[in-house]
Structure 1
Amino acid sequence: MDQSPIETVRARYGAGAGPDTALVATNPVLETLLNHRSIRNFTDEKLAPGTLETLVAAAQSAPTSSNLQAWSVVAVEDPARRDRLADLCGRQGFIRQAPLFLCWIADNSRLIRLGEAHQKKMEGLDYLESFMVALVDAALAAQNALVAAESLGLGTVYVGQLRQSPEKVAAELNLPPNAFACFGMAVGHPAVQGAVKPRLPQSLVLHREQYGATGEEPAIAGYDQALGAFSVEQGMAAQDWTQRMMSRVGTAAGLSGRHRMRDALTALGFPLK
């Protein structure tokens, strides 16, 4: 039986959680968003012709600050290059499996070339704000592409470890100065659909009028229990959210080399004033 709209919303948070209210009506866009799950196991089926171009068109339909469109994407389909990128991303096998690996680029280089063509130094690009704009633009574009891919029945997963070796990735992709590979995205046909992973309760992320942290500890404790149970159901160790966060950001070691990001960005040509 199909789920009601409120059941679909509540399913995003796990059993016994989720908001008490939601829209009565739903639509395919909402259902695609609410049913997102990361896919790390792909079949060897190729993508239909035109898939890449359609995903990029969806990406270019995302909002962009001041119409700067300060992003690019490098589509990697060559198996040998995907192998090398997988090695640079902690040897994650699904990068080799998926027929398409998208590398999303915060790209101020195009605007610099535009200035050079008009004998104009683009001084505004020297500032941290301009890098942040490019990073946000790339993220917005990528999320549009992800939703488009999932609406077509494809599976996707973001790959933050593309930032583990920024200079090596830039060399592999032949990126010009002032272009930075923010993250990757594997795209393909899912071999296994997987389950919807519970998210933090809305009480922890939704603040009305002003930020408040009242009731945070018991809400996190409840989420720890839900995520631990989910992990066991998926055949993984019963690690809860608190344990994962302590491991991930409790020490610099959890950053997997990404603690040197400022130095890497400087080496890639971003002044970051």
Structure 2
Amino acid sequence: MNKIIEIMKQHRSIRSYLDKDISDEVIDNLIEVAQSAPTSINGQHPTVIVVKDREKKEEVAELAGGQPWISQAPVFLLFVGDFYKAKLAADKVDKELVITDSVEASLVAAVDIGLAMQNVITAAESLGLGIVPIGGIRRSPEEIIELFNLPEYTYPMVGLVIGHPADRSKQKPRMPKDAFRHDEEYNKDKLPVLIDQYDETMSTYLKEIGREEEKNWTSYLMNFYQQVYFPKVYPTMKKQGFKNER
């Protein structure tokens, strides 16, 4: 197995960072690998905002629900779903931008950003850096949009913290591979037993790291999924031009 595959298999989220900068050269390289990721119809929908200013990171940390590692780490990347560039293309040839009326635009932006961010994650971890994705920026999207001066047809999708790990957190167990891999068709019959097995594994893991109050995967997941936990996403997407109507 090659080194990169082994690094990817060892991934873990890091929430404690050293007070140590990352060079501009490394940041530039991380941005370049993000931009090198594939995008749907070469639309190049991801845009990345590099944030190093301490005060701005502290504001993001608060808006994301109180996540101190955002301000602690030297670099925060904001991944923006960007159809503003497409709007400029539409205006240039005197055509109407229609795709943002559709759910497809939101899916395209999310998929393309996922591909770009994974490139950054792999590259950063190959350099010995630690990362943690931040979905919490969608908790207060209006404030994030204002803070970063985002124009219409753009939306803050996810953030990424990057820094030098203060410690290597314990790797979180994944579901059995049989729950992840299905051959030729989706096999739902095997899942209940596999989920039961995973709940037992997670219960042990959570006790080991002092978070036994979360109980297991099922209980933790449904603490979130019994509600729309970021209710401001839909109205702010519409306000930004992503109607999601068809």
Q: Which TM-score tier does this pair reach, normalised by the shorter chain?
A: over 0.9
Q: Check 1:54–1:259 CA distance in 2 against 1; reply closer, same or farther (3 A cut).
A: same
Residue 242 (structure 2) pairs with residue 270 (structure 1) = yes
Partner of 2:216: 240
The letter for the 1-side match of 2:140 is S
Q: Deviations over 1:156-212 (max 9, x none)?
A: 000111001111100001100111111111000000111211001111121111111
Q: For the Cα contact (< 8 Å) 2:141–2:232, is it kept in 1? A: no
Using the TM superposition, name which of 70-79 and 232-241 deviates more.
232-241
Match of 2:80? 105
In the alignment, what sits opposite 1:131? 106
Within 5 Å, which residues of 2 pair with 1:149-188? 149-188=124-163
- Distance, in Å, in 2 between the alignment partners of 1:88 and 1:125 is 26
Distance between the aligned counterparts of 2:138 and 2:36, measured in 1? 25
- What's the offset of the Cα at 1:151? 0.6
Tell me how far 1:112 sits from its aligned partner.
0.3
Whether contact under 8 Å (2:140, 2:232) holds in the other structure is no
| Residue number in structure 1 paired with 2:233 | 261
Structure 1 residue 105, shift from structure 2 partner = 0.6
Equivalent residue pairs, number: 244
- TM-score by structure 1 length? 0.86
Runs of 4 or more, structure 1, over 6 Å off, are none
- Contact persistence 2:100–2:153 (CA under 8 A): no
User: Percent of aligned pairs with the same residue?
Assistant: 34
CA contact (8 A) 2:12 2:169 kept: yes
User: How is 1:73-222 mapped onto 2 (pairs within 5 angstroms)?
Assistant: 73-222=48-197
* CA distance 1:49–1:260, shift in 2 (3 Å): closer
Aligned with 1:70 (options 31, 39, 45) = 45
The structural deviation recorded for 1:73 is 0.7
Which residue in 2 is equivalent to 1:251?
Answer: 227
CA contact (8 A) 1:154 1:189 kept: yes
Describe the superposition over 1:247-272 as per-residue Cα deviations: whole angstroms up to 9, x where unpaired: 121234xx1xx134221211122122
Partner of 1:50: helix, strand, or coil? helix
Contact 1:107 1:180 in 2 (8 A): yes
Runs of 5+ consecutive residues of structure 1 not aligned to the other structure: 1-25
Normalising by structure 2, we get a TM-score of 0.95
Deviation, structure 1 residue 119: 2.7
Cα distance in 2, alignment partners of residues 89 and 123 from structure 1 = 31
- The question of whether the paired residues in 1 share the 8 Å contact of 2:105 and 2:242 is answered with no
The residue aligned with 1:6 is none
Which residue number in structure 2 is paired with residue 15 of structure 1? Answer: none
